[in-house]
Structure 1
């Protein structure tokens, strides 16, 4: 619900000119792709900015807007200074959450308690809006630490059977965006348990909104399904494979019940990725192929390209070089068609760096380490440094490939770069890759830089283990 104190942003409205909000949103998404940024901009977001509900954009939107209007500042675009917005509700003693300024960018801090507090605040703000969501979020104790959920006894009563409308649907969609943003910055480990709470709320809302009709019903189902996939990915990236499998299956079931091919393709895409990581390579191939059949109803070449890469990864895991090369060729041809406004918003991460990284994984699985290292290196060079988690992942892939390609000094240097990012990135997957590289390099300890990397990695592993043990007590 919009704040009664919102002041329309007339400056931003003038910049839109004669374009419709939807047309302008498409320009924003296109500008984001130009700089490797990811934003989920639509006509509703533009409307909220112009209405003054968003007084300062999050950091991702800030970079995009300043790219679109070079030479202008946020103030020139009609926005308030970030320091005047951050924490305003807490100081004023109000529950106004219409302002969605970004409080989640903690890339300049290594303090994990600060990160956890800000992470909880983002998830809380995403859901504490109005009506049904407020009641549901309160009953879940949204934002509380796992194991300390106040008021959970209210959950048994379910979400009140009131009408589910625009604010509730928007809250679900915003939660998906915020979770993805936090994952991009920090990885999954610290986020998974908290993100599971809004997922339960979303499906309670889906039940409560069973009588909803038209676009509201479709958006709510799609939002709940996308949230299930996002939470599934957090489980996947933090090593909870069975949890991830369950969440992806939940999203797939939702997609099929409501007849949403885009959601179905997304669910199959992640299922294929999970199956490959779990060593179920034939399942990875079949899931990717099923995703491609669903994606045939979505006019997005990039979606088909990503699914082709998932299929290639499955073939590589099976040791089928021919099948892998054929899938890679199809994926490259589709990718080269370029992005379009029909690309699903969750695919904003899929640019050339990810293409290179996924191909590197294929050659690694086939044992062609030097070739894999070339692609992994290209992924690290192309990746926007703002996406800390992906940069750490690509560098971890590079270190692993270099270690097996007989380049221990270069592998150690890449490993050191990953260690530099581990204060910001919490990902069991990345840590496992780095540990595997350390084991590979141990016999080459005398090579330049290797001893330093191994000692530093061992110290980091001890520190991480001590932290996990403290958290378990």
Structure 2
């Protein structure tokens, strides 16, 4: 019940403007995701704030509101000082707010608590203390209170990027995404501090923060959080432009193109891939040019432009055949012949040439290094889909069993969505061979699969 002493928060109401309470609550949730917070904001909560029932928000909402309205204080937003509400001493303006407790581990899996908590300031850009470790075989890198950022801090950012990529290769993005936002916030807090000791260190920090944004964006992409992925990729692109870093810019455009293709925007996929190729021209990496040409080919396939797709595939194969070089970016370790075959399979699937798609997907499966567990599961899922659409249900069922064998290790909404679509393509059990029915029965025993993202060609 609202207290009789509650005073309406008119300042907060003015900030909402013409938006409904529900629309404003949605904006709050989006802003929370941008900084790695999770708040269950709805129209009722907004009403409680505006009525004065909530005199001061909790620390999570405080961080979100100050992110939404930079340069303001809680008092500017119409809230009462925390000390007057909580009955305790107020925090100094430059002191970090208490953080929420870390997420509880899931079962006995040590990797469920992957990223250590990050402690950041509110209202200033100084970093109080940051943990960027991944708790898997080495201590976290603790960054002490200081005014200058040096090699130790930048190395912690770079190490976080590498460890996230290793975990993603093994397990997929679903369980890792929520935890990965914390080191990303820490990296950008270091950038905001603007106190890097040397220019070379500043360049490394910009590159590391941008690569971390792309890695977190990919985890969002792989787990079906497309708007989050788009936001993280845009953040990386902005960082690349500010720092004048063509390598980071090419990587960001590569992922933007991939996301656009996966979300049904093939024209944007082509434009982003072309922009990435322009950024990559001075870098001297044929493999990077090959991957960007494949991204373009995927976009053109989505447009139904078979001729343009084949030309882009030709450029990709020509560049790939030149081999690896010292100029290849570190993040491209996944891009081997198996990935080349997989991306080509997706192009033919998008063009409806299922037999050709299945041949390339099968080759991708046979070529793939088993270390990349998530990609192996993805390649098998794509093969399952291509076979099902190509009218080869028994072979599709066999490939589908191989995907299910990996789902205990891999948590990827993208892979599960392909299986979900494949089951729909196989149709009802009536008249199906025994092997297909066995696959469908086994599939039904796994947790429900999300409807998005769609597999290529759908």
Give unmatched runs, 5+ long, in structure 1.
Answer: 1-110, 144-157, 466-473
Deviation at 1:229, TM superposition (A): 0.0
1:253 alignment partner, one of 232, 238, 244: 238
Q: Match of 2:282, SS?
A: coil
Query: 2:398 & 2:173 partners in 1: Cα distance?
Result: 25
Higher Cα Rg, which structure: 2
Query: 2:238 & 2:195 partners in 1: Cα distance?
Result: 16
Matched, 1:457 2:451: no
Query: 2:195 & 2:238 partners in 1: Cα distance?
Result: 16
Query: 2:238 & 2:181 partners in 1: Cα distance?
Result: 18
What does residue range 388-403 of structure 1 map to in structure 2 within 5 Å?
Answer: 388-403=373-388
Residues 1:211 and 1:170: Cα distance change in structure 2 (over 3 Å): closer
Matched, 1:185 2:173: no
Matched, 1:227 2:212: yes
Structure with larger RCO (C-alpha < 8 A, sep 6+): 1
Any conservation in 2 of the 1:176–1:227 contact (CA below 8 Å)?
A: yes
Residues 1:256 and 1:390: Cα distance change in structure 2 (over 3 Å): same
Deviation at 1:112, TM superposition (A): 5.9
What does residue range 281-296 of structure 1 map to in structure 2 within 5 Å?
Answer: 281-296=266-281
Matched, 1:332 2:317: yes
- For residues 14-42 of structure 1, what are the alpha-carbon distances to aligned partners after superposition, in whole Å with 9 as ceiling and x for unaligned? xxxxxxxxxxxxxxxxxxxxxxxxxxxxx
Query: 2:370 & 2:234 partners in 1: Cα distance?
Result: 33
Matched, 1:120 2:105: no
Query: 1:142 & 1:295 partners in 2: Cα distance?
Result: 31
What does residue range 346-425 of structure 1 map to in structure 2 within 5 Å?
Answer: 346-425=331-410
The Cα RMSD (Å) is 2.4
Deviation at 1:444, TM superposition (A): 5.6
Deviation at 1:212, TM superposition (A): 3.7
1:135 alignment partner, one of 129, 135, 143: 129
1:447 alignment partner, one of 404, 428, 433: 433
Give unmatched runs, 5+ long, in structure 2.
Answer: 1-104, 120-125, 136-142, 451-458
- For residues 205-264 of structure 1, what are the alpha-carbon distances to aligned partners after superposition, in whole Å with 9 as ceiling and x for unaligned? 111244443210000000000000000000000000000000000000000001000000
Query: 1:406 & 1:169 partners in 2: Cα distance?
Result: 52
Query: 1:112 & 1:429 partners in 2: Cα distance?
Result: 22
Any conservation in 2 of the 1:312–1:327 contact (CA below 8 Å)?
A: yes
Deviation at 1:394, TM superposition (A): 0.1
Query: 1:112 & 1:334 partners in 2: Cα distance?
Result: 44
Matched, 1:164 2:149: yes
Residues 1:159 and 1:256: Cα distance change in structure 2 (over 3 Å): farther
Q: Match of 1:461, SS?
A: coil
Query: 2:443 & 2:127 partners in 1: Cα distance?
Result: 44
Q: What TM-score do the two structures reach when normalised by structure 2?
A: 0.69
Any conservation in 1 of the 2:118–2:131 contact (CA below 8 Å)?
A: no
Q: Match of 2:323, SS?
A: coil
Deviation at 1:125, TM superposition (A): 11
2:249 alignment partner, one of 258, 264, 268: 264
Query: 1:113 & 1:253 partners in 2: Cα distance?
Result: 39
Q: Match of 1:296, SS?
A: helix
Any conservation in 2 of the 1:142–1:198 contact (CA below 8 Å)?
A: no
Any conservation in 1 of the 2:118–2:186 contact (CA below 8 Å)?
A: no
Query: 1:254 & 1:245 partners in 2: Cα distance?
Result: 14
Deviation at 1:136, TM superposition (A): 2.4
Report the number of matched residues: 332
Residues 1:119 and 1:340: Cα distance change in structure 2 (over 3 Å): farther
Matched, 1:306 2:277: no
Q: What TM-score do the two structures reach when normalised by structure 1?
A: 0.67
Query: 1:457 & 1:133 partners in 2: Cα distance?
Result: 48
Q: Which has the higher helix share?
A: 1
Query: 2:326 & 2:144 partners in 1: Cα distance?
Result: 35
Q: Match of 2:218, SS?
A: helix
